Structure 1
Amino acid sequence: MSTCLDLPAEAAEILSAFSADMDPSIQSALQQACRLKPVASGEPILTEGAVGSVLYLVVAGTFGVYRRDPLDQTDHRVAVVSTGQAFGEMALLDGEPRSASVRAEEAGCLIEIDPDALSKQPDGVLRLSEFKGELASLVTRRMRAANQEHVAALQRELKLREEQQHFGKFFVYSLIMMSIGTLVNNVLARSLTNIDIYTAVFAWQYLAVLMVPSLLIIWHMQIPLSELGLTTRGLGKSMREGALVSAGLCAVTFGLAAGLRYFDVLPGKALPFDPWGSASYFLHSALQEVIARGFLQSSFQRFLGDKRGWRSVILASVLFGMFHLHFGLPAVLMTIATGCVFGWIYIRHQNIAGVVLIHYMMGVAAFNSGLL
């Protein structure tokens, strides 16, 4: 073995980096007390339970740290030490037997720092004491960093479990919503009840049935209002864009209705404008969008990891379109198409205001033209 006074440049840099914050007198003592040790692949360096106080710095290679299971007496790798890292420092500090075994995962090279060689130098006992103090500070900093990483890992694990619980609740909610929609549409399709689906009473009753499980899940998942799009952030841009899109879609709606009326295939009946009914429908539209965009679409986007959001837009639009099946297939297709537009606006601004405006204006145009 060669002394560290004769170390190659790479090893000298590693020793220098290890002792960079130490007093120059300690650095000089370490250079005289250390040795360069080549190791073969699989070679044992430390043995758990053995007595020893030599500290090692890795110059090259990787070294596995193993702890023995007292039940089955098998070794389990608990860490890997690589270039620039140290091991064996705890036994040097407290004099206790080695707490783990270390062996080379591949051929490499180590710097040995022997405290006995350090103590034999002039003023060596003082230098060893100073070195232990500096080493204790280094170990403390490393343990603090490890603890912080451990806490961060626990926080990530708790966050993941919370997301899994939320996904379970959302999945159950989706099943309930689809079941409600299927049940209502089957009842209406079989004419088991005499209900006028074009009345505000039916619209509010149907929405109330859908709102109950929605609000319960939102409450259980503790979703803040801002995540449902109920925020002032992006409000102005959302409203301006909503007004422009509303104007264009209303023109398309009346034009389409006129064409269908000409061929006598208009699916609905034109309804006159009712101020009170219009105000009620505005609130109705707002509640629908809070559920469809603020909750459904946002939940799909989060649980699917849908960064761009388009899959979530389509899923939420199709699901919500199914709740309009009692108005006929044209209404379902129109709801899906407009829902994609609503979803696009919502993704752009994360604000529900512009989407509600478009929904309201489109609904008024559709009912007043007889398209629904």
Structure 2
Amino acid sequence: MTVDTAVSKDRLKEIIPNLTTYMPDRLIGAVGAASQERHVAPGETVIAEGETSTEFFLIREGTFGIYRAAPGGGTEVRVAEIGPGQPFGEMALLDGEPRAATVRAESAGVILEIAPEALRAQPDGEAGFLELKGALAAFVTRRMRATTQGHVEALQRELALRKEQEQFGRFFIYSLTMMSIGTIVNNMLARMTLSVDIYTQIFAWQYLAVLLVPSFFVIRHMGISLQSLGLTTVGLKRSLSEGALISVGLFALTWIVAAILRHFDALPGKVLPFDLLGTLSYFLHSALQEIIARGFLQSSFQRFLGDSNGLWSVLLASILFGMFHLHFGMAAVLMTIATGCVFGLIYMRHQNVAGVTLVHYVMGVAAFNTGLI
């Protein structure tokens, strides 16, 4: 370690601007006069843990590692890294206790060493020393506040991550449960274990009720808000107006496709007569489906998969919901997936289920009444 001359007041301000903001000009000049600029070599120990000394240091150049002895002895543990503009060793000056850590140069560097005795030896040195301790105390307090805030933020991030992991676990189990329910119901229908007419409102509501119970249970335990499910007035007017326009176009397209398939005797379903009460009931049915398919499934996929543009989430939610229509046949499954992708893209525009519910309702009525499903 080589030693150079003392440091000027202006130079000291350049080296440690954060600390000198707590010091009057007179004190800065006194500290500069009491300091010595030292050059240190890589690997050189500046202070050692446990030693008794009161000098503190300011880093002008280089990188320094802070090390603590491992519990029970043995090798040291590197706990931090400090660099230009940062002080070290100030705690021993403030409280007079032995050094709490070892500071070692990790590269060639330049430091300023300030000895309390050199400061006290100046005119009014004792008063200057007390002022320096006050400035260091203010600096350390501010640093501790920032460190504490950093720890609080890190803890909050960790808690948020744990909550996200718990929610993903619930959502994963929910997804498996929903797939199992759909598989069991479709298998029972395929084996004729259940003798029901799948085209009745009673079956539709019973099947939906079986799916809704686990859905709302998981939604509640995941703490998902109504707004997150798309049940909000935000974007409502725009969602409904665009939904109405899209509904008109898709309604016409549905009838055209059905007419073509009917001409070739290729309709996958049977034509259902118009039923006003059943149609109104289907509107509520559509709304509940969209809350689950778009508000819950699609939004959850997007959040857990980190799907920034949302397209994969739209596809996954559509496929999953399409499988719940397997009892209507593969044509219905493919149609549900295709329309589900359309519904998902509409929902992405406004994050509101109102417009997409309207489109779903109109499409469903048209599909059932034309024999497409």
**1:357 alignment counterpart:** 358
**1:290 alignment counterpart:** 291
Deviations 1:197-228 (A, max 9, x none): 00001100100110011011011111111100
d(CA) in 1 for partners of 2:294, 2:50: 61
Structure 1 runs of 4+ aligned residues shifted over 4 Å read 6-9
d(CA) in 2 for partners of 1:136, 1:95: 13
| Equivalent position SS for 2:7 | helix
**2:275 alignment counterpart:** 274
Deviation of 1:273 after TM superposition, in Å, equals 1.6
- Aligned pairs for 1:22-171 (under 5 A) are 22-171=23-172
| Equivalent position SS for 1:36 | strand
Deviation of 1:12 after TM superposition, in Å, equals 5.6
Deviations 1:71-98 (A, max 9, x none): 2432111111111111111111001001
Deviation of 1:179 after TM superposition, in Å, equals 0.4
Q: Which amino acid aligns with 1:220?
A: H
**2:4 alignment counterpart:** 2
d(CA) in 2 for partners of 1:31, 1:8: 9
d(CA) in 2 for partners of 1:115, 1:308: 61
Deviation of 1:21 after TM superposition, in Å, equals 3.1
149-158 or 66-75: which moved more?
A: 66-75
**1:255 alignment counterpart:** 256
**2:302 alignment counterpart:** 301
| Equivalent position SS for 1:361 | helix
Deviation of 1:193 after TM superposition, in Å, equals 2.0
Deviations 1:211-265 (A, max 9, x none): 0110110111111111000010111111111111111111111111101100001
- Aligned pairs for 1:146-295 (under 5 A) are 146-295=147-296
Deviation of 1:357 after TM superposition, in Å, equals 0.5
Deviation of 1:339 after TM superposition, in Å, equals 0.7
d(CA) in 1 for partners of 2:309, 2:72: 50
Deviations 1:159-215 (A, max 9, x none): 000000000000000000000111111111122221110000110010011001101
Contact between 2:13 and 2:20, CA under 8 Å: does it hold in 1? no
Task: State the superposition RMSD in angstroms.
Answer: 1.4
Name the CA shift for 1:16/1:322 in 2 (closer, same or farther; >3 Å). Answer: closer
Name the CA shift for 1:48/1:156 in 2 (closer, same or farther; >3 Å). Answer: same
| Equivalent position SS for 2:67 | strand
- Aligned pairs for 1:319-358 (under 5 A) are 319-358=320-359
d(CA) in 1 for partners of 2:215, 2:94: 60
d(CA) in 2 for partners of 1:40, 1:102: 13
Deviation of 1:7 after TM superposition, in Å, equals 9.2
Deviation of 1:6 after TM superposition, in Å, equals 5.8
Deviations 1:312-354 (A, max 9, x none): 1110001000001111111111111111111111111011100
Q: Which amino acid aligns with 2:283?
A: F
d(CA) in 1 for partners of 2:56, 2:248: 76
Q: Which amino acid aligns with 2:363?
A: M
Count of residue correspondences: 371
Contact between 1:3 and 1:32, CA under 8 Å: does it hold in 2? no
Q: What TM-score does the superposition give when structure 2 sets the normalisation length?
A: 0.97
Deviation of 1:366 after TM superposition, in Å, equals 0.3
| Equivalent position SS for 1:93 | helix
| Equivalent position SS for 1:4 | coil
d(CA) in 1 for partners of 2:182, 2:372: 21
d(CA) in 1 for partners of 2:247, 2:63: 64
Contact between 2:16 and 2:86, CA under 8 Å: does it hold in 1? no
Deviation of 1:274 after TM superposition, in Å, equals 1.1
| Equivalent position SS for 2:43 | coil
Deviation of 1:52 after TM superposition, in Å, equals 1.2
d(CA) in 1 for partners of 2:249, 2:73: 74
Between the two proteins, what is the percent identity of the paired residues?
61
d(CA) in 1 for partners of 2:113, 2:309: 54
Q: Which amino acid aligns with 1:167?
A: F
Contact between 1:253 and 1:366, CA under 8 Å: does it hold in 2? yes
Contact between 2:7 and 2:37, CA under 8 Å: does it hold in 1? no
Contact between 2:22 and 2:138, CA under 8 Å: does it hold in 1? no
Name the CA shift for 1:173/1:17 in 2 (closer, same or farther; >3 Å). Answer: closer
Q: Which runs of 5+ in 2 are unaligned?
A: none
| Equivalent position SS for 1:174 | helix
d(CA) in 2 for partners of 1:237, 1:156: 36
